[in-house]
């Protein structure tokens, strides 16, 4: 404890869990934001106003990196002592690693919720939110519910929009569990593993084949490539974001489970995945809109949609200083077939998003609640295909990972959130390159409307994609079929006649192809209540 009247700096010592009574820490009068205390810090702190979450009571915990954030410089005394409480989601994430270690040591069940190997924002937040919900609602849970980010920890810094949002919402990276930090195979062999897949439904590669036996639930928004038998619970429905399905699941659960942090994470993720609910981008559905509206109704303090989307877009397209290899790894998937393994990378280099009205705020920290984003996008002069040494970088990237080829897909958005897409096919094997190019050029479900572009060499074929709403999840089945991989024999995707909205939708009788209808949050809340009690959506009140 700091002595009463203490006015000098103090050090946070590892293992210390005492309460800071006085000293150099005080929220500025009227301050409503969080601050962070770093272990080993010996200097004074200044609290920056404007961030939500501070209550005047805190506890210094080693390794704690949120929801408190401080800046050096403040020299006033502390306001009052008290424990750090945090939201339910923050407490859940903070206890993840300890729960995992305790259950593994005691040979008790571990229920892992894991997203796909690209580990984009949708996968990461869906895993966190669903694991949190299961932990909160499972009766007398014997299992530890652990969200796992399906990448090595070293790759996390490449997911710039994910690191930004989690940091902004007080979720410390130190508390997260990554794929290289948990032995799923060993847990399964010991009979301790249950596995829920979010934002994907097929485990890629032979190394994970044995884990299929442990899958007890799937939540995804892509077309189902393979059937799963009972007792595996399957929720695969065509919405813009997997976070929408997780939001619906939480809203159907007990009241009070959804806290402010979880709501903010889901709200931001749906906005980013649906391109700020823009019909022009071709990704949003009425259910995405309904969930965003209901989250805003429940938590009116959520930042404005444009501010959230602008901040996340700026973070997502922030690739300054990344090498070609890092850019390709940033948003990477891989598919395998008779002709080998092909990587599909989402590349974000064509777009430059400027912060601040005059572009002079590049160095300021971005926060979803206070960011100023000028709705202006400029194409960089040096596009991905013109990077120096690109062909050598592509060859080294594929050789190091055993890829027979690579498909790079770029996307940018104008001020109206309308996408522009391009793609490039690379392989040193001419037959494979020709196979992939022919499949993409001749695709009809959907047609990509490709137009050839100049390429930097004979091993690369580049295209402008006329069908700008066909994102990677639409292109993957085309490539998979060309390679003769799993799902190649499946039926073509229904592009012209979308399926009707499922009966458990928050919006009834709205085909997914129709424009987004106006929604009343009270009506949505009433519909969720009916769903929770099993009452058909169209039944009388």
Domain ranges in the chain are 88-316, 322-353+377-483
The DSSP letter of residue 173 is G
Report the alpha-carbon distance of residue 364 to residue 354 in Å, rounded. Answer: 12
Count CA atoms closer than 13 A to 439's CA, side-chain side.
Answer: 20
Residue 122: which H helix or E strand, with range? helix 121-137
| Lookup: tokens for 193 | 């593993």
Q: How far from 265 is each of 43, 259, 269, 312, CA to CA, in Å?
A: 32, 10, 6, 11
Torsion angles phi and psi, residue 291, rounded to 5 = -65, -40
- Which tens digit of pLDDT belongs to each residue from 415-428? 777 888 899 999 99
pLDDT at 329: 87
Per the model's pLDDT, the better-predicted residue between 496 and 408 turns out to be 408
Bridge partners (DSSP) of residue 340 are 337
Angle value at C-alpha 467, between 461 and 472, nearest 5 degrees? 70
Question: pLDDT band at residue 34, thresholds of 50, 70 and 90?
Answer: very low
Confirm if 217 and 197 have CB atoms less than 8 A apart. yes
Report the alpha-carbon distance of residue 28 to residue 419 in Å, rounded. Answer: 43
The DSSP letter of residue 182 is S
Per the model's pLDDT, the better-predicted residue between 128 and 17 turns out to be 128
The least confident of 57-66, 124-133, 232-241, 314-323 is 57-66
Topology of the domain comprising 88-316: inorganic pyrophosphatase (n-terminal core) (3.90.1640)
Confirm if 307 and 371 have CB atoms less than 8 A apart. yes
pLDDT at 318: 79
| Lookup: tokens for 239 | 């919405």
Confirm if 379 and 351 have CB atoms less than 8 A apart. yes
Bridge partners (DSSP) of residue 111 are 145, 194
Go through the chain and tell me how many residues it has: 541
| Lookup: tokens for 163 | 């690191």
Bridge partners (DSSP) of residue 539 are none
Confirm if 150 and 240 have CB atoms less than 8 A apart. no
- Which tens digit of pLDDT belongs to each residue from 80-119? 334 445 789 999 999 999 999 999 999 999 999 999 988 9
**CA torsion, points 301, 302, 304, 307, in degrees to nearest 10?**
130
Bridge partners (DSSP) of residue 287 are none
pLDDT at 346: 87
80 C-beta neighbours (distance < 10 Å), count? 12
Angle value at C-alpha 86, between 81 and 87, nearest 5 degrees? 155
Across 398-408, average pLDDT: 95
* CA nearest to 507, candidates 242, 237, 305, 259: 237
Q: Does domain 322-353+377-483 have CATH number 3.40.190.170?
A: no
Per the model's pLDDT, the better-predicted residue between 371 and 338 turns out to be 338
pLDDT at 66: 39
- Which tens digit of pLDDT belongs to each residue from 43-55? 333 333 333 333 3
In the chain, the percentage of residues whose pLDDT exceeds 90 is 48
pLDDT at 431: 95
183 C-beta neighbours (distance < 10 Å), count? 12
* CA nearest to 244, candidates 275, 277, 226, 266: 266
Diameter of the chain by CA atoms?
A: 77
- Which tens digit of pLDDT belongs to each residue from 318-368? 777 788 898 888 888 899 888 899 999 988 754 333 222 223 333 334 444
Model confidence, pTM:
0.60
pLDDT at 379 over 90: no
What average pLDDT does the chain have?
74
- Which tens digit of pLDDT belongs to each residue from 473-517? 899 999 999 998 554 333 333 332 333 333 333 333 333 333 444
pLDDT at 292 over 80: yes
Bridge partners (DSSP) of residue 423 are 409, 463
User: DSSP states of 343-356 as a string?
Assistant: EEEEE--SEEEEES
Report the alpha-carbon distance of residue 423 to residue 528 in Å, rounded. Answer: 41
């Amino acid at each position: 404890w700091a002595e009463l009247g203490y006015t000098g700096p103090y050090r946070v010592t590892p293992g210390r869990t005492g309460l800071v009574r006085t000293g150099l820490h005080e929220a500025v009068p009227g301050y409503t934001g969080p601050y962070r205390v770093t272990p080993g810090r010996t200097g004074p702190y200044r609290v920056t106003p404007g961030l939500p979450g501070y209550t005047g009571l805190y506890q210094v915990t080693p390794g704690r990196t949120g929801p408190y954030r401080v800046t050096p410089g403040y020299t006033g005394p502390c306001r009052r002592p008290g424990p750090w409480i945090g939201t339910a989601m923050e407490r859940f994430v903070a206890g993840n690693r300890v729960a995992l270690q305790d259950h593994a040591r005691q040979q008790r069940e571990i229920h892992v919720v894991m997203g796909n190997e690209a580990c984009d924002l949708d996968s990461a937040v869906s895993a966190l939110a669903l694991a949190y919900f299961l932990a909160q609602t499972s009766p007398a849970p014997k299992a530890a519910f652990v969200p796992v980010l399906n990448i090595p920890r070293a790759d996390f810094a490449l997911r710039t929009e994910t690191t930004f949002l989690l940091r902004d919402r007080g979720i410390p990276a130190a508390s997260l569990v990554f794929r290289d930090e948990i032995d799923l195979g060993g847990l399964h062999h010991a009979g301790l593993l249950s596995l829920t897949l979010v934002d994907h439904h097929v485990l890629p590669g032979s190394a994970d084949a044995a884990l299929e036996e442990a899958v007890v639930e799937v939540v995804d928004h892509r077309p189902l490539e393979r059937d799963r038998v009972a007792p595996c619970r399957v929720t695969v429905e065509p919405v813009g974001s997997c976070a929408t399905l997780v939001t619906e699941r939480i809203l159907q659960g007990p009241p009070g489970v959804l806290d402010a942090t979880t709501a903010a994470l889901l709200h931001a993720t749906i906005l980013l995945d649906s391109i700020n609910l823009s019909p022009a981008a071709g990704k949003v559905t009425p259910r995405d809109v309904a969930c965003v509206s209901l989250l805003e109704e429940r938590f009116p303090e959520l930042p404005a949609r444009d501010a959230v989307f602008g901040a996340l877009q700026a973070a997502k397209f922030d690739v300054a200083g990344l090498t070609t290899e890092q850019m390709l790894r940033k948003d990477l998937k891989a598919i395998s077939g008779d002709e080998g393994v092909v990587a599909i990378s989402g590349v974000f280099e064509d777009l430059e998003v400027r912060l601040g009205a005059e572009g002079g705020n590049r160095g300021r920290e971005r926060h979803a609640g206070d960011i100023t984003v000028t709705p202006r996008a400029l194409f960089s002069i040096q596009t991905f295909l013109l990077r120096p040494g690109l062909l050598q970088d592509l060859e080294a990237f594929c050789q190091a990972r055993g890829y027979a080829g690579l498909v790079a897909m770029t996307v940018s958005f104008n001020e109206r959130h309308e996408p522009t897409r391009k793609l490039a096919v690379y392989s040193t094997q001419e037959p494979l390159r020709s196979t992939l190019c022919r499949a993409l050029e001749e695709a009809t479900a959907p047609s990509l409307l490709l137009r050839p572009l100049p390429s930097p060499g004979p091993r690369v074929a580049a295209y402008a994609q006329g069908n700008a709403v066909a994102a990677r999840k639409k292109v993957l089945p085309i490539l998979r079929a060309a390679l003769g991989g799993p799902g190649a024999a499946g039926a073509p995707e229904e592009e012209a006649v979308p399926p009707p909205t499922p009966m458990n939708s928050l919006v009834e009788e709205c085909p997914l192809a129709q424009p987004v209808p106006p929604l009343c949050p009270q009506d949505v809340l009433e519909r969720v209540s009916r769903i929770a009690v099993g009452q058909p959506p169209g039944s009388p009140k």
